[in-house]
Structures are given as C-alpha cells and as structure tokens.
C-alpha cells in the first residue's frame, strides 16, 4: 500500500508557523471528498526569486506567481509538488484584505485541486475552481 503524506518544506525563507498537522489532515479530507486518495504532496514554501527560477526553468514563464504545481498523479492517487511563494501570498492577502493564513490555505487548496484534476484556463473553469476553494476553506476547522 502506498505511503500517504503531506510534507512541508521551506526554501530560501524562514519556516512558517501554522498548524501543519491540521492542514495536512484538511488536505486529506478534501481529497476524500473528491473521491481521490492522498499519495505524497510536498508543499514547498519559498520566496519570489526561488519560484520565479522554477517558473522559468520548467515552464518557460517569466512571471511572478503564487503557486506552481507539479503533478505526479496516478489514477486516483494524488501526488505532487506545490511550490508556493510566501511573498506573493502576503501581497495577495493585503490586496484581498484577508488574513495571511486564510490566503495561504486558499493557495494550498488551489494547488491540491489542480492535482485532483481541476483547471482554471477558461472563465468557467476558473469559476468552478474558485467555488471549490471556497467550499474547502469553509470546511477547514483550525
């Protein structure tokens, strides 16, 4: 039986303080709700420069972003790497006038939803993934 886990890493930033076990459980419960199984998800928190380098090197994009997701999904077993720019999350939290941890959880679940098969390339897809983000954010109990 495959190992399932959510692992948090910190690259080029100080470690963040949040309820890691609670967030990991929330991710797992969200995937169960989507009829998916948790494989291994790495959440790599980093700065803009680190994520920009990944965006350029692997995706050929020369833009700042809050998250880059690498998908290693096999059938319903959800595995992947979520690279998250803490600088972008902080800026977005200010822009949207929400708490930093709320925005961080939104970005995390956004990446998880991409791994689960949701996209945001069209307006309809973007609306659907945003509704799913809201749904899972409302389920989060910290």
pLDDT digits (tens, 9 = 90+) for 41-63: 999 999 999 999 999 999 999 99
Strand order in the sheet with 5-10: 5-10, 37-46, 77-85, 67-71
Q: Above pLDDT 70, what percent of the chain?
A: 96
- Domains contained in the chain, CATH given: 5-139 (3.40.390.30)
The pTM score is 0.94
């Amino acid at each position: 039986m495959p190992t399932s886990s959510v692992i948090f890493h910190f690259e080029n930033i100080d470690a963040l303080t949040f309820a890691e076990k609670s967030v990991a459980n929330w991710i797992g419960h969200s995937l169960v709700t989507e009829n998916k199984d948790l494989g291994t998800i790495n959440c790599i928190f980093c700065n803009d420069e680190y994520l920009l380098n990944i965006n350029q090197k692997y995706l050929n994009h020369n833009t700042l972003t809050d998250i880059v997701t690498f998908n290693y999904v096999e059938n319903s077993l959800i595995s992947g790497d979520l690279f998250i720019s803490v600088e972008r999350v902080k800026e977005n939290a200010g822009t949207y006038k929400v708490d930093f941890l709320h925005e961080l959880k939104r970005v995390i679940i956004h990446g998880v939803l991409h791994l689960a098969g949701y996209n945001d390339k069209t307006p309809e897809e973007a609306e659907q993934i945003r509704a799913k983000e809201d749904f899972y954010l409302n389920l989060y109990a910290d």
